[in-house]
Amino acid sequence: MAIEIVPLTKADIPSAVECVQKAFSDDPYFRWAFNDPSKFNTQRNAASLAAHFQYGLSCDCPISVAKVTCSISDQKVDRDFNLAPGSVVGVGWWYSPQAARASQTWSIWAQEWLLSFRQLLNNIRFLGRGGLNVPRYWIWKQVQMEAHNTLWTDPRGYYFCNMVGVSSQARGMGVGKRLMESVMEKADREGMPCYLESSKGHPNITIYEKMGFELIKEIQCVEGGDVCKLYCMIRNPKAKS
Ligand SMILES: CC(C)(COP(=O)(O)OP(=O)(O)OC[C@H]1O[C@@H](n2cnc3c(N)ncnc32)[C@H](O)[C@@H]1OP(=O)(O)O)[C@@H](O)C(=O)NCCC(=O)NCCS
């Protein structure tokens, strides 16, 4: 397969943003948090994602992209596409483990302020949050924090898969697995656990089980009668056979 997995660079951010927007367009969490499609502003959302990617790069997060290395076309009955070299068809964004007792570094603290500042500028430039349901966003943050506080029992912390998304044309070709493996193999070498949350149960639970994750808890974000389920999964380190 003519796809390489490489670390994200600043130059890749626009294509990575586009890939994520497409990959998550039918994601249950996305639909719950942006619950009024008439208010959704694609450009505002892209600016926000770009600010997050810049934050991730500045914080040295392990972020990889899957890039087409030479033209791929598939005119089979079920798929019809032509991907140009350099196209980003997948993104895997992880956070490195943070020991439970470790305090936040100054550089991360500064990057968080910079991110907030960029988001403030985005609010001004686009006159709002681009359709994000802000109360729901904060409910999600709270539910997620409570889950981490109860489920993250390893004091060394977890490699946390913040997002992984593959363009619909490139799914089922092993791209998601390669994006995940780039960090899971490091975690195995270090004897560290990995963690993720997915709002899509099917087929993601099966996909992640194949990668060694186990479903440990289902949590819910609830607002205005709408529920968004999140499936929390942990992968314990595997010894090399
Ligand atoms: C989840 C996602 C990243 C997986 O990426 P992918 O490139 O399609 O997955 P892969 O081709 O690498 O498949 C990995 C494994 O899952 C299996 N798999 C893939 N799609 C499957 C499906 N629909 N049903 C069952 N198994 C499936 C593959 O056979 C493979 O198993 P193997 O190692 O035994 O061969 C991708 O489907 C995606 O982007 N989905 C939309 C966004 C999303 O939900 N992201 C996750 C948020 S946490």
Phi then psi for 145, rounded to 5 degrees? Answer: -65, -40
Q: Determine contact, residues 130/213, Cβ cutoff 8 Å.
A: no
DSSP letter string, 62-87: -EEEEEESS-EEE-SSS--EEEPTT-
What pairs with residue 214 in β-bridges?
A: 234
Among residues 164, 141, 134, 151, the alpha carbon closest in space to that of 218 is found at 151
Ligand 1 centroid, distance to 170 Cα (angstroms)? 10
Residue 68 confidence (pLDDT) above 60: yes
Is the beta carbon of 34 within 6 A of some atom in ligand 1?
Answer: no
Residue 70 has a pLDDT of 78
Tens digit of each residue's pLDDT (9 = 90 or more) over 71-115: 666 655 455 567 788 899 999 999 999 998 888 899 999 999 999
Residue 130 confidence (pLDDT) above 60: yes
* Region 10-32 average pLDDT: 97
Tens digit of each residue's pLDDT (9 = 90 or more) over 133-142: 999 999 999 9
Indicate the domain borders of the chain: 3-133+156-191
Strands (E) located in 26-120: 63-68, 72-74, 81-83, 88-95
Is the beta carbon of 198 within 6 A of some atom in ligand 1?
Answer: yes
Residue 79 has a pLDDT of 57
**Best residue among 177, 178, 181 to mutate for probing ligand 1, ranked by most atoms within 8 Å of CB:** 177
Ligand 1 centroid, distance to 68 Cα (angstroms)? 18
Is the beta carbon of 176 within 6 A of some atom in ligand 1?
Answer: yes
Write the residue with the smallest CA distance to atom 43 of ligand 1: 165
Match 């619950």 to its residue by tokens: 35
CATH number of 3-133+156-191: 3.40.630
Tens digit of each residue's pLDDT (9 = 90 or more) over 142-193: 999 999 999 999 999 999 999 999 999 899 999 999 999 999 999 999 999 9
How far apart, in whole angstroms, are the C-alpha atoms of residue 27 and residue 9? 25
Chain CA centroid to CA 239, Å = 26
The model's pTM? 0.93
Share of the chain above pLDDT 70, in %: 95
Long-range contacts of 201-208 (CB under 8 A, 24+ apart): 201/229, 201/231, 204/231, 205/231, 205/233, 207/176, 208/233, 208/235
